Structure formats: C-alpha cells, structure tokens
Structure 1
Amino acid sequence: MAATDQVGILRLGPDHALGGLALSTEAQWNQNEADWRFFLTQGTGFGARDNDGRLIATAALLPYSSGDAWISMVLVTASSRRRGLATWLVDACLDAASKQGFTTWLDATPAGAAVYGPLGFTPTLQLRRFRFGNSTRPAGALQLPPCDLKRFIARDVSAMGFDRSALLTELSGRPGSRLLSNGDAVALVRDGLKARHIGPLFAEGPDRALALVDEIVRSDAGPLLIDAVTEQDEFLKGLTGAGWTIERPFQRMRFGRATALPTELPFAVAGPEYG
C-alpha cells in the first residue's frame, strides 16, 4: 500500500457525479449520471484525486436497510491501477460499514473476486451478464401492463432478504423506466448509458420469465442487458437460444453474517452496481 501513502481519501458528494461518470465510462460500464447521483446522495462515496485534482478512483457504500449495505462503483482509471487504490477504498467502505453495523455485499468481476476474497468476502450467487442487440420495433408493438410497485418491492424483499424500497422507487420512477408484468412474471426495465437494463426479474418459472423477456424485446428498441442468476439454468439456456450473448460473469459476495435468508431466487438482478 506504500504507493497510496501520498494520496488522501476524499469523501464524495453529488458534485462529484460527473467525475465518477468519467471513470465508469472509461471502464465501459453502463451506469449513467442518474446512477452516480443516487449513489452519492443516498450512500457514502470515497475517492482519490491525482495532483491535478482529477478524480482517479472511487468506491461507494449504499445502505439498504438497518443491517445491509452494498459496495459498488469500485473504479480506478487505467493509468493509476496496480497501486492498491481499489483495495484501499474498499477498506474505507468496510470501515464505514463496520461503524454502522452493516453486513456488506458486492457483485464482483472475476478479477475483483480475487481481490475481495482475501479481504474476508465469501461467495454467494453467481451471475451472467447477457446482451441483446438493437431490435426494430414492429408496428403496433405489444404494450405490456405495468406492475404494482408495492408488489414488486415485496418480491424483491423475498429475493434479497432485506428491503430496497428507496432504490426500487427511484429506479422505477426515472424517465424511460418501465415496471412490467405478464401476470406470472414481473421486471424492471430502465435506461443505462450504453443499453437498457432488465432486472430485477421475478417469475413463477423459467418459461414465464422467458416469455416476459421476449415481450420486452418485442416492445423495447434496445440494446438490452440482463444480469441472470446462474442457478436458473433453464432461463439461461432459453436466453442463449433466443439470441442473447454472454458478456461476462459476476460473483456475488458477502462480508459478515447474513441478516436474513432469502425465500425466493430471482431470475435476474438489478445490476452489479445495485445487487
């Protein structure tokens, strides 16, 4: 960590959203300015600057309930990597979480998982990110009925084991967001910087989940991303058969004791930045 000795931790606020967006855009992530503003308004952000005052690294801690929080937006600009900055900022998040009594979670890339394991994180769910390219909206495209937000939040609590009402209310209320149902499946569709994102997605079975995804594809111009839960094997096979391609894996990890046990396995999650 000696390379970080001359760098001070910066507490981030909403006015740092554009600096954070520059980092996530450099990394080709899908977060937009609204995502950054939510993290830096509702959560605790940490960062590091270079000698010119440019933001070069970030991490954020987003509380979800009285006992759980998400670590996300762990980014380091390419020219400043391999200096221990990411580990240093994650340590700052863990310290803040410890002081508030939080169990912390994150969704890691394979490279990130190799870093977080030695810090004490244990693996839970595995995820696969799928992409579907641009589609041409047909004339008279199907208009899916909306899903009740309270019902959607209740399904999410069952899947996560804790409450994320503030997050889901924010995401579903953004311009362009759609909270949809086909009767047996429900999903949130929202804008990202590079693609629309589907998830969370809950359903009575893989066939109903795939049917809803198909209806979304036919009623949304795309491109689309979905972060599918690997244990939902039939769902993943169905996505591949429908022309979706795998972009990358993620590993969900937890630091600390689980505060509650989930009672439902989702088909897709809200994204690695949110869980």
Structure 2
Amino acid sequence: MPDSGKNDVIEYRAFTPDDIPAAHALSTAVKWRHRMDDWRFAARLGSGFAAVDQQGTLVGTALAWQFGTDAATLGMFIVSPGHQRRGIGRGLLDRLMAKLGSRTLLIHASDEGRPMCEALGFEHMGTIHQHQGAAFQPPLVSLPPGERLRPIGAKDTPRLVELASRASGLDRSELLPQLLDVASGIALDRDGELIGFALFRRFGDGHVIGPVIAPESPDESRAKALISYWLSLNAGMFVRVDTPLRYGLSPWLEGLGLPLVDTIEQMALDGPPSTDATLTQFALTSQALW
C-alpha cells in the first residue's frame, strides 16, 4: 500500500537479502556501527519490510524476530534522513504488527520513536544504558565458594538455551545455537552445575558482551565477574555492553572506562514476557534481539 511523501510515493515490500548492501549504507548514514555481517545475521534470523521510493532506492527498514509463538522483538528501524517525518516509520511498524498478529511485542524506542509506540499501545518496561569504550582495566571479581568460570562446551547448549529462555522470558531455542556459531562463551559453574554465562562476539567496529545471564542473589558480583573476564582478555579493544538501568551496573561500567553513550527505552505491547525471578539478564544480546 503506497504512502504519499512530500515529493514521491513510498512502496512497502518484504525485506530480502538483496537489500542488505543498501540497508548497511542506510545504517551508516544514521551513524550506526553495524557491519554488513551484522545485517546478514539479523536478516537471517528475522524478517521484515523495506520502504523504497519511486526510483527503487531503499529509504526505510524494519525487521522482527519471533521467539516461539507468544512473543517477538522489533528492531532495525531506520528511515533515511531525507525521508523522515513523512510517516514511513509508522508505515513500517504498522505492517510488522499486522504480520505478527496477537502476541507480546517488544521494542527499544528512542526519544523520537517513543510517542509513536505509545500511540500504538506500547508501554514502558525499563531503561537500557549503552556503554562502550576501549580504555579499561577491570578488577578481579571474587566469586562465592564453589563457583568458578570455565569455557563453554558443545554439550552445554541445551542448558544455555534453558537459562537464556528463563532469564529473558523468550524462547531462545533458535537464537542461542546461532549465536554460539559466531560468539565465544564463558560459563559460570557452581559445583559442576552451569548457572550463568556471558557471550562475546564481533559487532560493528568492535565487540559486544551479551547476553550476560546469572543469578542476581545476593548481588551483581557474578555478572561483574563474567563481564570482567571478557574485558581482561580484550584490553584496548572497542567493547559495548547494553545493560538495564535497574540492575545497577552502569556506575561500575563507567568506572572501568566504558562510558554511558546512549539511553533507550524498553517498551512492550500486551505485557512484558514472564521471566524467572531466580535469574537475571544483566546485558542484552542486542537492542534488536534483546
């Protein structure tokens, strides 16, 4: 269904792998750090829509990722700077919502996008702090007796899926194996039982730590130990961590040399997913994949 812009007509169609080079150029134009490989990974796991002008030029993107039958996340929302404020973002979001039907929908909304999401019924869940930097010297973080960090093994995948699903409230059975193909992992072990983990992978012009999942009780020391492990191995590399404000890691991350560079709102339609109160996801996989 076309939309009228100021000087042209916008057409909406399915996003395809052939759109990735133009989508990468679009994300670069709005100063996102995504590589072509980051776009390929996101598009392989999800689906969505492209907005193109009369010349066939890509001017907008929006993707979604389904987790089981009950929930989906929305992301990779971009509108070309020259085509903003013409209703293209709303057109993309309307089409994604219609395609996904009745389920919990999750989105990270910028200050500019929040009013549109609120108008569609999305409600505030929390705030995400994006930290990134390259000059850090993490301290050694002690773990409780009986707990240690160890490499993740091939046999750990079912347990990692279980922990990630419980902590996020989303079915991670398809996402986690795909992540493990492109990430390194460290496990938190308690007397032979895997109770948490953190992944480290290439993203943009650096690396991202996430997801980071661990028991919260009695404090966030386990999450700090998992994050410190990756920072200590990669001193001087550009690293990003996206963490919910409510878990209190932001002051610690800033103290390590990972300054706060952006804040974004978590929003949900039809309620937040139901999570396991004994586990916490201290850092996101990404703002698109949660």
Report the TM range for the smaller structure's normalisation: 0.7 to 0.9
Does 2:149 match 1:146?
A: no
Contact 2:136 2:256 in 1 (8 A): no
Residue range with higher mean Cα deviation, 69-78 or 101-110:
101-110
Structure 2 residue 200 is matched with structure 1 residue 189: yes
Q: Does the residue aligned with 2:10 lie in a helix, a strand or coil? A: coil
Deviations 1:75-125 (A, max 9, x none): 011111111111110111011111xx3321111222222321111111112
Gap change, CA 1:167 and 1:134, over 3 Å in 2: farther
| 2:54 aligned residue (35, 47, 51) | 51
The C-alpha deviation readout for 1:186-219, integer Å capped at 9, x for no partner, is 1111111222011110123412211222221111
Q: Which amino acid aligns with 2:209?
A: I
Report Cα offsets for 1:12-54 as digits up to 9, x if no partner: 1122122211122222223332332244333222011123322
**Preserved contact between residue 126 and residue 266 of structure 2 (Cα < 8 Å):** yes
Amino acid at match of 1:3: G
- Pairing 1:34-183 to 2, within 5 Å after superposition: 34-98=37-101, 101-133=102-134, 145-146=151-152, 148-174=156-182, 177-183=183-189
Structure 1 counterpart of 2:146:
none
TM-superposed CA distance for 1:134, in Å, is 5.5
Structure 2 unpaired stretches of 5+: 138-148, 190-194
Aligned mates of 1:51, 1:72 — CA distance in 2: 25
1:255 correspondence with 2:263: no
User: In proportion to residue count, which structure has more strand?
Assistant: 2
1:140 maps to none
Q: Which runs of 5+ in 1 are unaligned?
A: 137-142
Which TM-score applies when normalising by structure 2? 0.83
Which of 48-57 and 89-98 deviates more?
Answer: 48-57
CA distance in 2, matches of 1:238, 1:135: 11
CA distance in 1, matches of 2:213, 2:43: 28
Q: Which residue of 1 aligns with 2:31?
A: 28
Secondary structure of 2:246 counterpart: coil
Please give the alpha-carbon distance, in whole angstroms, between the structure 1 residues aligned to 2:220 and 2:274: 25
Query: How many residue pairs end up in the alignment?
Result: 264
* Matched residue SS, 1:56: strand
What is the RMSD of the two structures over their aligned residues, measured on CA atoms? 2.3
Percent identity over the alignment is: 25
Query: For residues 288 and 171 of structure 2, what CA distance do their matches in structure 1 show?
Result: 16
Distance 1:132 1:185, change over 3 A: farther
Does structure 1 residue 16 correspond to structure 2 residue 28?
A: no
Conserved 8 A contact 1:11-1:46: yes
CA contact (8 A) 1:76 1:86 kept: yes
Q: Which moved more, 1:62-71 or 1:144-153?
A: 144-153
* Larger fraction in helix: 1
Encode CA deviations 1:145-201: one digit per residue, 9 max, x unaligned: 236332222121112212122122112202xx2111253651111111222011110
Aligned-partner Cα distance in 2 for 1:144–1:13:
39
